[in-house]
Amino acid sequence: MPYYASPGVYVEEVSGGARPIGAVGTSTAGFVGTAPDRDARRNEAVAVGSWSEFLRIYAGGTEPGAGTPLSRAVYGFFDNGGGRCYIVNIAPGEPIAGAGRTRSGLGLLEAIDEIAIVAAPGYTDVLSHEDLLKHCENLGDRMAILDPPEEITDVERLVRVETAPAPKKAKTPAQDGQQPAQPAPATDDGGLRPRNSDYGTFYLPWLVVRDPMSGDVVTTPPSGHVAGLWARNDSIRGVHKAPANEPVRGAVDLTYRVTRAEQDLLNPAGVNCIRYFPSEGIRVWGARTLAAEASEWRYLNVRRLFSMLKESIGDGTRWIVFEPNDEQLWRSIRRDIGAFLTRVWRDGALLGATPQEAFFVKCDAETNPAEVRDAGQVVALIGVAPVKPAEFVVFKLSQSAIGTEAQ
């Protein structure tokens, strides 16, 4: 309490009590790969805000035309609406997760909290896919975009989960004087789909684009362009809108034209197709994660919305730690989280005619009995009703007599 020693008028500033919770960003990407200048900022996580900045940092010492999957992905990211990304330049053949005790590769992206999208353009093997999925699952605040093989000869292989090829039995040095054999290549009939994961997405096929450095028409993996499309969708509509039925800027053709019958097979398996339509051009035509079909996280926008809500509430309520655990604190929690979710509902991210239908926040004596308070915990239950995409639009058309009304 303040101390007053003499008569007079004292004016003091007091807190209004409200502590607004702001939504965290969802469009910053992290890319791991080999840059045109292989030695530029090797194994550092460098923030890049434009294509020209990428060229200055990662292509300043190379001859014109030395493009890589990473450079084409970064160009596609900015061309499709991305605004900021982090680049980790690794040596050719180096694992994207890094090796040894020194932090490298994906490990450098772990400490950067603002990253929400992760990709390793052109890395299509099962080990790289697993590294990306584990990275996102362990952190829980970002999604991985996985690239398919460049050539697709059997669509049915894309619905079977991929496995690492078994290494050949190595001969001992005494037998042939050679080093142990390297892992054998995958068999032709093996699966190509990454394993189930709530934090991964899988897009196909590769795109045909004009290389931004050489000007040649080349093929490129889709992850960079898709990441930019996600960022564009977030800024225009919001993270709750499924990033699909959107044009892929810069793509002039596809390496494989997926048919509707083939997508009938791929879509339930969580394989997102990039399709060509004569009147609309090249568009992303899928919005699923790699989760099981019956999972509540099968829709990409739902998974990303919950990740945003979780991180936003966690960051915006850090002031609660060590506060007195009483009714006043519980009211503050209900007020602040309720105000934040009301804004999210007004943006169209939650389903319901009123905020009461769209979400609830319960934090009271029932969720915080004596044994919970004695353990130093405060517990709040939050429930939200996310909007889900209209993936299947069904119009039922029938003949009717003139003058009758549809019921």
Which residue segments constitute the domains of the chain, with CATH numbers given? Answer: 28-302 (3.40.50.11780), 317-384 (no CATH)
- Angle subtended at Cα 398 by Cα 393 and Cα 403, rounded to the nearest 5 degrees: 120
3-state secondary structure of 135: helix
Q: For residue range 194-215, what is the model confidence (pLDDT) as tens digits?
A: 999 999 999 999 999 999 999 9
In this predicted structure, what is the pLDDT of residue 7?
87
Specify the pLDDT at position 264: 96
Name the DSSP letter for residue 260: H
Give the rounded percent of residues in the chain with a pLDDT score beyond 90.
78
Pairing, β 45-48 against β 28-33: unpaired
**Predicted local confidence at residue 180, as pLDDT:** 41
Give me the pLDDT at residue 6, please.
86
Least confident of 127-141, 157-171, 313-327: 157-171
pLDDT > 60? residue 172: no
Mapping DSSP to helix (H, G, I), strand (E, B) and coil, where does residue 389 land?
coil
What are the residue ranges of helices labelled H in 140-222? 173-176
CA 77 – CA 281 distance, rounded (Å) = 19
pLDDT of residue 135: 97
pLDDT band, residue 178 (cuts 50/70/90): very low
pLDDT exceeds cutoff 70 at 184: no
185-198 pLDDT tens trace: 444 568 999 999 99
Mean pLDDT of 172-184: 45
The continuous run of DSSP H or E covering 381 comes out as strand 381-384
CA gap 404, 407 in Å, rounded: 9
**Res. 120: pLDDT tops 60:** yes
Residue 179 binned pLDDT confidence (cut-offs 50, 70, 90) = very low
122 with 147: CB under 8 angstroms?
yes
Question: In the structure, what pLDDT confidence band is assigned to residue 182 with cuts at 50, 70 and 90?
Answer: very low
Mean pLDDT for the stretch of residues 4-14: 82
- On the question of pLDDT at 166 being above 80, the answer is no
The residues near 233 (Cβ < 8 Å, ≥ 6 apart) are 81, 241, 243, 246
CA-CA distance, 405 to 160, in Å (whole number)?
A: 48
Count the Cβ atoms, other than its own, within 10 Å of residue 192: 23
What is the mean pLDDT of the segment spanning 254-274? 96
Model confidence at 173, pLDDT cuts 50, 70, 90, reads very low
CB 273 within 8 A of CB 248: no
Mean pLDDT of the chain: 90
pLDDT tens digit string along 368-378? 999 999 999 99
Dump pLDDT digits (tens) for 217-234.
999 999 999 999 999 999
pLDDT at residue 277 tops 80: yes
| Mean pLDDT calculated for residue range 362-368 | 96
More confident residue, 69 or 104: 69
pLDDT at 261: 96
Region 76-81 average pLDDT: 97
pLDDT at 400: 75
Q: CA-CA distance, 255 to 385, in Å (whole number)? A: 39
How confident is the model at residue 232, as a pLDDT? 97
The whole-model pTM stands at 0.89
Q: Find tokens 């530029």 and name the residue.
A: 40
Q: Picking from 132-141, 342-351, 387-396, which range would have the lowest pLDDT averaged per residue?
A: 387-396
pLDDT for 185: 45
